[in-house]
Amino acid sequence: MTTPSALSTRETRNRLHELTVIDVRTPGEYAGGHLPGALNIPLDRIRRALTDVRQAADRGAVLVVCASGARSENACRILAENGITTATLSGGTSAWAAEGHDLHRPEGNPRATWGMERQVRLTAGTVVLLGLLLGLLVHPAFQILSAGIAAGLVFSALTNTCGMAALLAKLPHNRTGAADLDATLAALRGRR
């Protein structure tokens, strides 16, 4: 198994012309702005793209990015388990944008969605408030909803994974169609 490395935004900017950049965020997040030339292969579809990513890695360096670095680290781990050497961008597209670098958006201005972290915060907060409200107005047992979300957040922090994000990624506005992924993989195969 290969060990993924991390590139700083400075290293990435200097090497961007030689990197194949794969953005593992949801299509909606990708539409909100991505590194120049990045191809969108959502994390939940990365296993389907193993052959094409391996071929890209054989041709040159592959950089995997997401919003903050957590999902790209997970993608790099999956790729490493399959013998594919990749790197991740330290701090993700958030760090890239914070340093004033351009983010590109798909042509035709597809609808961007909130970032996954923001979607998780909204969902978790809503369920906690709902559990507390129903616990006060209907029956105290509804407070278990709030306790469940709290336990999930603790588990998420300890494991650097997020089950809620995995579920939210399956919602239609966060999914890519099979045709979109096929087009992305064809573009990946066409890169030299």
For residue 187, name the pLDDT band (cuts at 50, 70, 90).
confident
More confident residue, 176 or 189: 189
- pLDDT at residue 177 in the model: 57
Average pLDDT value for residue range 163-172: 83
Cβ–Cβ contacts within 10 Å for residue 176, how many?
19
**Choice among 43, 66, 162, 164 that is catalytic:** 66
Cα–Cα distance measured from residue 104 to residue 18, given in angstroms and rounded to the nearest whole number: 18
66 as an active site residue: the answer is: yes
Average pLDDT value for residue range 65-87: 92
For residue 69, name the pLDDT band (cuts at 50, 70, 90).
confident
Give me the residues paired with residue 63 across strands.
21, 87
In the predicted model, is pLDDT for residue 104 greater than 60? yes
Q: Which two tokens stand for residue 96?
A: 């890239």
Average pLDDT value for residue range 152-163: 85
- pLDDT at residue 108 in the model: 63
SS3 of 43, please? helix
Cα–Cα distance measured from residue 6 to residue 21, given in angstroms and rounded to the nearest whole number: 13
Among 97, 111, 88, CA closest to 30 = 111
Q: What percent of the chain has pLDDT over 70?
A: 92
In the predicted model, is pLDDT for residue 146 greater than 70? yes
Is the Cβ–Cβ distance between 102 and 118 less than 8 Å? Answer: no
- pLDDT at residue 18 in the model: 93
φ/ψ of residue 40, rounded to 5: -95, 110
| Tokens 């958030």 belong to residue | 94
For residue 131, name the pLDDT band (cuts at 50, 70, 90).
very high
Average pLDDT value for residue range 122-144: 94
What contacts 147, CB < 8 A, 6 or more positions away?
131
Is the Cβ–Cβ distance between 9 and 95 less than 8 Å? Answer: yes
Average pLDDT value for residue range 65-69: 90
What contacts 158, CB < 8 A, 6 or more positions away?
none
Query: What does the mean pLDDT of the chain come to?
Result: 87
